[in-house]
Chain A
């Protein structure tokens, strides 16, 4: 395993195009993001067993959250802002080539303004459909 400098990663957003990803655009001014890939589990620890807890994997999902220095003219930012009750597609590169992608709902946009700072927007995306690992 080799390490990857964070600046080499990227987050891409595409609008939905009749159920498929439209054209991906890299989210600009994005200093950090977090991708949480989760597998929900159900406890199946049986009676009469060894006493060790056992679990079965059920539903998988991912959440993407992050911040941008706000610029509405950025294509990907505009796609996030325009996705009201519609889905977008997120492609999260964790190295220059490895990615996790899938359709998402934009579940949160938060605009923060501080007179001593820079206009910022944080976002949260929740997956809603098949997850692709590339």
Chain B
């Protein structure tokens, strides 16, 4: 085990939502299935998903949960899949962000103290909400179009001004083995201008409104 040079790290954002039909899924374990193609696992929350078992739609009552960040569906305990499991829906390809000097992803678990009477006197905590922020510095004025596949300027500045939530993915080692994903909304985009330096841009993003129809909740990490 060794350290990894950080220049290999990769920060990506969601590209253009792309429809898919009959997308193959594989069994993870138990009643959980996952989209087989890792390139198609970030599912568009704004597009209805139809999970099919041997060609027939699985009813909502038989779906215990979905993980839209990693393309998973978990059926209820009483449902016995026949297979194959497929998905009709839309996914987001990821587009690497260029010209980043550095980036940082802060993931937090907020807690509440539950230390009680008649105990050993050791503090106890319960995890409540989670939060995440992403910040980065770029050799860029933040007006570069990040997604040529979508019409109109899709720069960090335009995304901030339009309040558009965006899927962020950080691969800390660039190896494609473990990533952190979250839907986020911009909090800041600033430029540093100096006559003897190049233009630099700093961005900061936070978890998007979980009530938004275009965002899935929270942050998750896993194999891409």
Contacts and interface: CB of A to CB of B under 8 A. Distances in A.
Contacts of B5: 117-119
Contacts of A105: 109, 111, 125, 127
A70 B8 CA distance: 12
Interface in B171-198: 172-173, 177-178, 180
Given A70-B172, A102-B122, A111 B180 contact: yes
B122 A108 contact: no
A127 B109 CA distance: 13
Given A59-B121, A115-B101, A115-B102, A81 B4 contact: no
A71 B111 contact: no
Contacts, number: 123
Interface residues of A, number: 40
A106 B189 CA distance: 30
Interface residues of B, number: 40
A112 B102 contact: yes
Contacts of A59: 115, 121-123
Contacts of B127: 85, 105, 107
Contacts of A60: 121-123
Interface string A10-50: 00000000000000000011000000000010000000000
A94 interface: no
Given A40-B123, A130-B122, 4 more contacts: A69-B3, A110-B107, A119-B8, A119-B173
